[in-house]
Amino acid sequence: MAIEVFNRQEIKYIINDEVFRIFTNVLNNNMEPDKYSAGGRLYHISNIYYDTPLHDIIRKSIDKPVYKVKLRLRSYGDTQSGDRVFLEMKKKFDGLVNKRRTAIYLEEAERYIETRVKPEIKPYMNRQVLNEIDFFIHSYEDLQPMVRLSYDRVAFFGREDKSFRVTFDTNIRSRRNDVRLESASYGRELLPQGLWVMEVKAERAIPLWFTRLLSDNRLYPTSFSKYGTDYRLSIIGESIHNEDFNYKFA
């Protein structure tokens, strides 16, 4: 059964192709690839982010409050009608991330958001998480699918501490039309070509060998948000260039 509740720190870095190769070479010797990443393969993740027409959720999030919440629908690989997906709430309080999700069928999730009527609890659902999501949904009068965001990922987990994970995301794309998981992945590129989002996820202390790897490559954390970047590009009208990230890696 997939893990449905996460409590951990998540630290992000923007890296280029050269640093990606350095890190994955080291990680292949010290960690295990995710089952979907065996042999260095990329796997695909798609998300629907829910918000109001006035962008209340993402506007609050990018103001960096002590506590913030996002709601999304996530799938792995190509998604078709009848597939089981995940409805997730991602909370962040004082730097600690709490992610809570429940399995749900695609049609159930779409109908739930549209009608605001909580589905009947099924054996594959997490009752407590669904109750929390229901409370969140009813905190907004006009919550709706706002952004489709997708990317390709390579992931590793610790050999001794399975909760220690390192993920690399590339080909990050978003759009605000045809916002459905079952439609194809296309849209605006959120990062210039050759850049990756590396995310370090840990419930306990980060291993010393990995902190040394970060130091040796002079990497520094960034507060990059995929949904936040889409908002800045699509709604505010900002632009992003390679030079905006040069200070984050050697």
Q: In whole angstroms, give the CA distance from residue 169 to residue 221.
A: 15
Residues 28-38: tens digit of each pLDDT: 999 999 888 87
Tell the residue number behind the tokens 């798609």, with chain if given. Answer: 46
* Beta carbons within 10 angstroms of residue 90's beta carbon: 20
- Mean per-residue pLDDT over the chain, rounded: 91
CATH number at 6-248:
3.20.100.30
pLDDT in tens, 81-115: 899 999 999 999 888 899 999 999 999 999 999 99
List CB contacts of 232: < 8 A, sequence separation 6 or more.
62, 238
What is the predicted pLDDT for the residue at 241? 61
Secondary structure, 3-state, 101-163: EEEEEHHHHHHHHHHCCCCCCCCCCCHHHHHHHHHHHCCCCCCEEEEEEEEEEEEEEECCCCC
Report whether 86 contacts 74 (CB < 8 A). Answer: yes
Is residue 248 scored above 70 in pLDDT?
no
What local confidence, expressed as pLDDT, does residue 242 receive? 55
* Integer angstrom CA distances of residue 141 from 30, 72, 129: 48, 17, 20
- Report, as an integer, the average pLDDT of 140-144: 93
pTM: 0.92
| Alpha-carbon span 237 to 231, nearest angstrom | 8
Domain residues of the chain, as ranges? 6-248
Structure tokens at 150: 């997708």
Read off the pLDDT of each residue in 211-217 and give the average, rounded to a whole number: 96
Digit-coded pLDDT (tens) for 31-65: 999 888 878 889 999 999 999 999 999 999 999 88
Q: What is the pLDDT of residue 95?
A: 80
